[in-house]
Structure 1
Amino acid sequence: MRYFAFLFSLLASLSLGVALSIQFGTVPPLGKLLDPNQGFWQNAFSEDYTVKEKIALENLSSAVEVHYDEHLIPHVFAENEEDLFRVQGYITAKHRLWQMEFQTMAAAGRISEIVGPIALDVDKLARRKGLPYSAENATQFIQQNDPDMLVLVEAYTDGVNQYIAELDYAQLPLEYKVLNYRPEPWSVFKSFLLLKYMADMLVGDSDLQYSNLRKILGETLLNKLYPDFPEDQDPVIEPERNWNFSPLKIEKPEDIDYPSEDILLSMLPRPEPGIGSNNWAVAPKKTKNGHALIANDPHLSLNLPSLWYAMQLSTPEFRVKGATLPGALGIISGFNENIAWGVTNATRDTRDWYKIQFRNSERTEYLYNDRWIQSNFRIEEIKVKGQPTVKDTVVYTHHGPVVFDKNFRAERQDVNFALKWTAHLESNEQKTFLLLNKGRTHADYIEALEHYTSPAQNFVFASTTGDIAMKVQGRFPLKWEGQGKFLMDGNDPKYEWQGFIPSAHNPATLNPARGFVSSANQHAVSQSYPYYVFDNSYEHYRNRRLNNKLREMDQITLEDMKSLQFDSFHLHAAEALPVMLNLMDVENMQDLDESTAKYLEYLKEWNFNTFPNQEAPTLFQVWWNNLYKSVWTFMERDSLPITYPNKYQTVRLLREEPESSIFAMNDNVKKTAVDHVKVAFEKMVEEMKIWEDEKGEFTWATYKSTSINHLVPNFESFSRKGIYTGGGSGILNATGSRHGASWRYVAEMGDKVKAYGIYPGGQSGNPGSKFYDNFIKIWANGEYVNFDFRSVNDKNGLLFSTEFY
């Protein structure tokens, strides 16, 4: 039956592939593609259909055993690290080669080579932001400064390339066949490029939006609606933390003069909505078995193949298990026999934009400190499928690359903004994870983080000795208060970063008295922290729900940790809906039609959970969306890019200042919060009646419609739509329509580590394999698979084994 489903999906995707190829240039060779001995039928089988028990791999110093469990999770047993990572590269390529190459080509600005000119602007932007430039800097830095690390990355690269060299057309992953191209050799550069791709995915900035808001609202109203520290913040590092260091001194200049003209530029990168994460660790004194517990669930785009690939890596010195990033060495989020760790995005503003004034149209010189400084040029050659190569000239200043100028968009000849970003700096993030993989103590964890630059992350830690810790890690610019909040003048030296905050001064805590550490993308610190910290995208609900639960919980078990990861309580709704109902004066509403009365009853009886079969979450979300838009529409000015005040500030305004003049700023008539709430409710009723007439039920799962899409957007038949699951944005179970927990794991750090994990996909990158999506239902139900260590002699329940020699 699965083969028929695969055939149907393949034919649907094939038609899309042909359509794409006709549009972009070259039609796939249909005869070859349909050949039963070479074409798509060879991708219709799962990995356990034909198994090689022995594989000859060049450059190994000793034999390596690989045991696959029933979920196709490989457990690699090698005698040394070089052999270990050579085999990791081979195995990862065997199951995820197309994904590895596609993601690094996206980071390198090379998608046009595959799909043609439709991707040209995307490729230009990747190069203009300096992603290849960043990876080149990292590669050069490691080549010159860390030969031991380089040997390991080269071993991984060798393993990938040995697998690629074996491939004939029949064995190619399906996407290569449909899109009609072949894999190219892997490289050390590509592994570092992958980590820069993650840095770009997880960073955002609001310089453009805040510059526009400053002009629209003025300083007073801007500070009121966008406070740096909201009243109810519950930061990553406990507020009572004493900072045991003497901070570097920095003074804010007196004569700040930001660019004041209207900024219409709409293509500055913004954070991807839905990006987030949770992690926490609990001290032995709060757990039932007296062992530290740890949990991590990064929230990212839900894609197939999955961003993550599970694996156990073992040598005589250490064994480690968890989630890998295909293309990078080691385990990114996981545990060994002594320590465990996980990551969440730290949402720190680590990139700034500077307006550049060139001397003339040649752009060979730009103004800095009222002097003309020589520019540098980087010629980007972008190959385009079916068309001539496109050359794009990118100007580099001492701030960084000029991302937006006349060469990027001809209609914007007046715009020249340079990007300064910590990801451009020399770095060695790969070393951080390899040191964590074999770390034994809290001191090892701290040493590993010293090598980490970007993207800024909250690293949680737990150990078998009972230690728990959290550190907000990255290379953070030393800024005066307010610096980088708005677009800055590239000519004026006072806007330069003043150096970097010492890593030892980054916010961190070890074994706090409260018995837990946690992060959920909220503010890192309270106002007592002596350095300027800013971001506009801090989370205000998940973190408070998490911390409140951890404070009240005791005798905590792994099952409690799982339940907390899947917690579906909607704190935002719990705080907002009573205010909205009160402003509506619902108890005195009369003469309601049947539908309106039904909707009100659902809302009044709601327990604020977001289970998939509930109707109330849908009603609240539609009502809230209309209310939010109604309140803040006045801020829109001639298509100027802005960001609205967050949900927390909006609820606070509705609750505490319902008569505020802000509610009357949409027009010239007197309006209060009541007017906005009533209009939004009427729109909700109208929308829901239409929905019911057209689609019937409006349960949360149906309305939210969670989808896990193939990395190629047009390959919908290789995607999975309408996943039946609850949760949502701002909820611990943060499963939205296209984003959510991309990986969940929990572990108990006892004498023998006990762990569970899951992600929404499968180990295989092949849509024809039963291991392509077999984890999805388990993940959607909030369930897990056993992630305990396996020993080399444990042959129970194995799918198959392979020996590399």
Structure 2
Amino acid sequence: MQLLFRWLLRFAAGLILLSVLGLSLIYFLAAQSLPDYDKEIALPGLLAPVEIVRDNANVPHIFGSYGASDEDVYFGLGYAHAQDRLWQMTVLRRTAKGRLSEIFGSRTVPVDTLVRRLDIYRLAQQSVSAQTPEAMTALQAYSAGVNARLQEINDDALGRGAPEMFLFNVPMAPWQPADSIALMKLMALKLSGHMQEEILRARVSLALPDPERLRDILPDAPGKGIAALPEYAALFPSLNRHAAATAPFPDLPLMPIAPRGQAGASNAWAAAPNRSAAGGTLLANDPHLELTAPGIWYLARLELGTGGIIGATIPGIPAVLTGRSDLMGWGVTSSYMDDQDLFIEQLNPENPEEYLTPDGYKRFETRPSIINIKGETPVTLTLRWTDNGPVMPRSLFNLGSITPPGHVISLGWTGLSPQDTSVSAALALMRANSVEEAIEIGEGFIAPSQNITLADRNSIALKTVGAIPARDARHQSQGRLPSQGWRAENRWLGRAPYAANPEFVEPVGGILGNTNNKLLDRPFPNHVSFEWGDTQRINRWQRLMQDRQVHTRDSFIEAQLDTVSYTARTLLPLIGADLWFTGEAAAEGTRERQRQIALSLLSEWNGEMNEHLPEPLIYAAWVRALQKRLITDDLGPLEAEFKHVDPLFLERVYRNVQGAAEWCDVRQSAPRETCTDIARLALDDALIWIEETYGTALESLRWGDAHQATQNHEVLGEVPFLRVFLNITQSTSGGDNTLQRGRTSGEAPTPFHNVHAAGYRGVYDFADPDSSVFILSTGQSGHFLSRHYDDMSQLWRRGEYIPMSLDEDLARAAAVGITRLLPVN
């Protein structure tokens, strides 16, 4: 026995020793790719020396020496991006090329298939020739900077440039200008959501027993609506109504098309000098995107010949996309412009290689494309294009359920332009010195469409940029449903004039802003969009802006961080109208007692979605359960597509707008349920779920325990052990409809996790530009061993910022390192 014990002890000690050695080796290999920020290195491609000064938040301030050009500064940005975010750039480029399966295997084949069919990278290559000479110079210099870092990694054996490179065999080809253009197109795809809306509208139209109820569950934004649409089934009688009620489209890893409701959102607002306490213009911006680790944004300062530029970039694109110079600031919000249409294409029964056009049958444009798959046989696709756009896979978002027999569906999208000058426009915008100049430059943006909020020293403006498709006034569905592609009135007529894009310059009230709300009301086809990203936050924003005669940088920060839910204040009095303070006293531990405690808490709540309060969790669980009860019997499996509560739908039902209270009756039951009945049952559903998940002590609940910001590594975030080091999770305030927006996942078992929020916040004060501030939700580095991987995350959570200064002395005084890039000769 003693001998056995001794050998077991030796075996255990050996295992521990091997584990320690293994972990030490892993750490050693991973640490080799940590960038050295304090060095001097000679690199090919530079014309003159460049300094990259890293301030204490690891924001690179890139300065050219005497004799250096802007070309050298862009080289420095490419080098800095590749130092900190090489893996992220690699994955983004492979996504845009449809080449993920070469390293990730069969699980990403559907993503590669989609991107290949859209032909994003070939269109980017064709768009290279459309760039301005200045933009081409910047793109080429940036590419040279990235490639210089790649050569340095190879020459000096710097751990392949990123820890992930050890886990995946990822040959890294040199960076090219087309790569940056492709990444801009990829962002446009992430920010476009009208295709998903058309598909869902068609499926709901087919599934609902009463087509009149379509306007309830998919309501228009407040304001003048449109004339009645044709029923989708009437357009295509051969469709099976029940086929539309299929299971939701599964989430796919690295899918570049965002789930419905998460295509893009943002806040931006500005104040003119007469509404600013210090007499200078003010601008605030916080773009909302999917939360990941690392985040999509990367802070940088460029010292160009025209002056300093500082703000947020996307690794792989050599432009500050939201930021400021000494003279002007710009912020971006998703415009929700209707830049996508689906077309039902009729195949020739005699020849399926042809489709019907207004002039008869025509052959598809076709081209083979081979997807190489790690460890498996390659897949050969036949890419098909019509006059309207590429033919989409039937599996995408359940397109097959709305495709009639003998037909296919193609996609029209402005991002499919082979002459896309969006990158040139973004680079030119950084040099603009006035609102007027910036608006003129905006004509070069094609996709994504954005609202750009502008502020120079004296004036403010908001302009929608991006190509608006010109549609025929006779369009069958006005772009809200897939339409018959062979009818001339459904086809696009080119691009609408840039002057038709919404524009607001120097408003009389001195304040303007956008929360993805409806900007204007114009009749189709000059309408811009029927789908808008916000009907709620805008109400709270108006209140905060009008409560003050003048604003300051701090009041703009306060508005960015505001967590009061206008939605909760509106809905609770409606859904609980017959429940407040009713019923007899109930015994401790009974369902009636829990309901009374919940209602008592909510009755005294001001709607603040604070992470430390119980009321936000009770409210959120209640309205989620309520919507589910209202729609499940009518929509069946389609109910799963409605992952988020639509406040307009609940308001229509509980105000009985145009008979919407009909949703409260459960069709499959004999009794006729009232809306009060459903509200009470839904509250019980919510309380049961809360008790099972968080316990029975309602007063001790914390919204932040449910509303955790989950910033996960996109590839390795689900891998046991690794996720502990790679994922950034923290309790947060806010919610779906607060200005400090934290969009919830809507999916069990964590429906209230915060997955889509402001990964960047910035507030710019032109009375004192160097008092401007900004922040990221993670950190600058994509390397999990770097202290800059998540060093901003707690600041972001607490609503704090870091200085956004163009003061060179300040950057140097707090530098964590200075990299001197020298020409080889």
Same fold by TM-score greater than 0.5: yes
| Structure 1 residue 661 displacement after superposition | 2.8
CA distance in 2, matches of 1:298, 1:372: 45
Matched, 1:471 2:488: no
CA contact (8 A) 1:313 1:330 kept: no
Matched, 1:771 2:759: no
| Structure 1 residue 633 displacement after superposition | 2.0
Q: Relative to structure 1, is the Cα distance of residues 453 and 303 closer, same or farther in structure 2, using a 3 angstrom cutoff?
A: same
Letter in 1 for 2:605: W
| Structure 1 residue 587 displacement after superposition | 3.4
Matched, 1:453 2:454: no
CA contact (8 A) 1:725 1:780 kept: yes
Alignment of 1:104-253 (within 5 A): 104-142=93-131, 146-168=132-154, 169-172=157-160, 173-205=162-194, 206-215=197-206, 216=208, 220-223=212-215, 226-231=218-223
Matched, 1:282 2:299: no
CA distance in 2, matches of 1:37, 1:625: 44
TM-score (ref. length: structure 2)? 0.85
CA distance in 2, matches of 1:683, 1:409: 30
Which of these residues, 649, 665, 673, is aligned with residue 675 of structure 2?
673
Q: Relative to structure 1, is the Cα distance of residues 33 and 399 closer, same or farther in structure 2, using a 3 angstrom cutoff?
A: farther
| Structure 1 residue 181 displacement after superposition | 3.0
Q: Deviations over 1:180-222 (max 9, x none)?
A: 4342221212111111111111111222222233343666443
Which of these residues, 749, 762, 782, is aligned with residue 745 of structure 1?
762
What is the RMSD of the two structures over their aligned residues, measured on CA atoms?
Answer: 3.1
CA contact (8 A) 2:764 2:773 kept: yes
Q: Relative to structure 1, is the Cα distance of residues 544 and 659 closer, same or farther in structure 2, using a 3 angstrom cutoff?
A: closer
Aligned to 1:40: 30
| Structure 1 residue 35 displacement after superposition | 4.4
Q: Which moved more, 1:177-186 or 1:274-283?
A: 177-186
Secondary structure of 1:332 counterpart: strand
CA distance in 1, matches of 2:368, 2:613: 55
| Structure 1 residue 527 displacement after superposition | 4.3
CA distance in 2, matches of 1:361, 1:125: 28
CA contact (8 A) 2:329 2:456 kept: yes
CA distance in 2, matches of 1:130, 1:36: 39
Secondary structure of 2:470 counterpart: coil
CA distance in 1, matches of 2:400, 2:451: 41
Letter in 2 for 1:88: L
Q: Which moved more, 1:346-355 or 1:654-663?
A: 654-663
Which of these residues, 714, 718, 729, is aligned with residue 714 of structure 1?
718
Q: Relative to structure 1, is the Cα distance of residues 410 and 117 closer, same or farther in structure 2, using a 3 angstrom cutoff?
A: farther
CA distance in 2, matches of 1:615, 1:406: 41
Q: Deviations over 1:604-641 (max 9, x none)?
A: 22121111110000000111001111112233156599
Secondary structure of 1:744 counterpart: strand
Aligned to 1:296: 285
Gaps of 5+ in 1: 1-29, 234-251
Aligned to 1:558: 553
Q: Relative to structure 1, is the Cα distance of residues 270 and 81 closer, same or farther in structure 2, using a 3 angstrom cutoff?
A: closer
Secondary structure of 1:297 counterpart: strand
Q: Which moved more, 1:649-658 or 1:559-568?
A: 649-658
Aligned length: 750
CA distance in 1, matches of 2:802, 2:37: 24
Q: Relative to structure 1, is the Cα distance of residues 443 and 692 closer, same or farther in structure 2, using a 3 angstrom cutoff?
A: closer
Alignment of 1:61-460 (within 5 A): 61-78=47-64, 79-142=68-131, 146-168=132-154, 169-172=157-160, 173-205=162-194, 206-215=197-206, 216=208, 220-223=212-215, 226-231=218-223, 258-260=235-237, 261-262=239-240, 264=244, 267=249, 271-274=259-262, 275-359=264-348, 363-369=352-358, 371-405=360-394, 416-425=408-417, 426-460=419-453
Q: Relative to structure 1, is the Cα distance of residues 70 and 603 closer, same or farther in structure 2, using a 3 angstrom cutoff?
A: same
Aligned to 1:21: none
Q: Relative to structure 1, is the Cα distance of residues 709 and 802 closer, same or farther in structure 2, using a 3 angstrom cutoff?
A: same
Letter in 2 for 1:524: L
CA contact (8 A) 1:212 1:640 kept: no
Aligned to 1:598: 597
CA contact (8 A) 1:702 1:722 kept: no
| Structure 1 residue 272 displacement after superposition | 4.3
Which of these residues, 740, 743, 759, is aligned with residue 776 of structure 2?
759
Alignment of 1:719-734 (within 5 A): 719-734=726-741
Secondary structure of 1:197 counterpart: helix
Q: Relative to structure 1, is the Cα distance of residues 171 and 42 closer, same or farther in structure 2, using a 3 angstrom cutoff?
A: same
Letter in 2 for 1:104: R
Q: Percent identity?
A: 25
Matched, 1:514 2:518: no
Secondary structure of 1:626 counterpart: helix
| Structure 1 residue 68 displacement after superposition | 1.0
Gaps of 5+ in 2: 1-19, 251-256, 744-753
Letter in 2 for 1:604: S
CA contact (8 A) 1:124 1:408 kept: no
Aligned to 2:704: 701
| Structure 1 residue 800 displacement after superposition | 1.8
Aligned to 1:661: 662
Aligned to 1:247: none
CA distance in 2, matches of 1:661, 1:718: 50
Q: Deviations over 1:144-197 (max 9, x none)?
A: xx3332222111111101110111444320011122434222121211111111
CA distance in 2, matches of 1:765, 1:227: 41
Q: Relative to structure 1, is the Cα distance of residues 194 and 376 closer, same or farther in structure 2, using a 3 angstrom cutoff?
A: same
Alignment of 1:521-540 (within 5 A): 521-527=516-522, 531-540=526-535
Q: Relative to structure 1, is the Cα distance of residues 405 and 612 closer, same or farther in structure 2, using a 3 angstrom cutoff?
A: closer
Q: Which moved more, 1:509-518 or 1:404-413?
A: 404-413
CA distance in 1, matches of 2:789, 2:27: 22
CA contact (8 A) 2:536 2:737 kept: yes
TM-score (ref. length: structure 1)? 0.87
CA distance in 2, matches of 1:500, 1:258: 27
Letter in 2 for 1:54: E
CA distance in 2, matches of 1:406, 1:307: 28
Letter in 1 for 2:420: S
CA contact (8 A) 1:478 1:498 kept: yes
Q: Relative to structure 1, is the Cα distance of residues 648 and 229 closer, same or farther in structure 2, using a 3 angstrom cutoff?
A: closer
CA contact (8 A) 2:470 2:496 kept: yes
Which of these residues, 572, 577, 585, is aligned with residue 577 of structure 1?
572
Secondary structure of 1:738 counterpart: strand
CA distance in 2, matches of 1:31, 1:183: 30
Letter in 1 for 2:281: A
| Structure 1 residue 642 displacement after superposition | 6.4
CA contact (8 A) 1:96 1:764 kept: yes
Letter in 2 for 1:75: H
Secondary structure of 2:813 counterpart: coil
Secondary structure of 2:732 counterpart: coil
CA distance in 2, matches of 1:232, 1:343: 26
| Structure 1 residue 669 displacement after superposition | 3.3
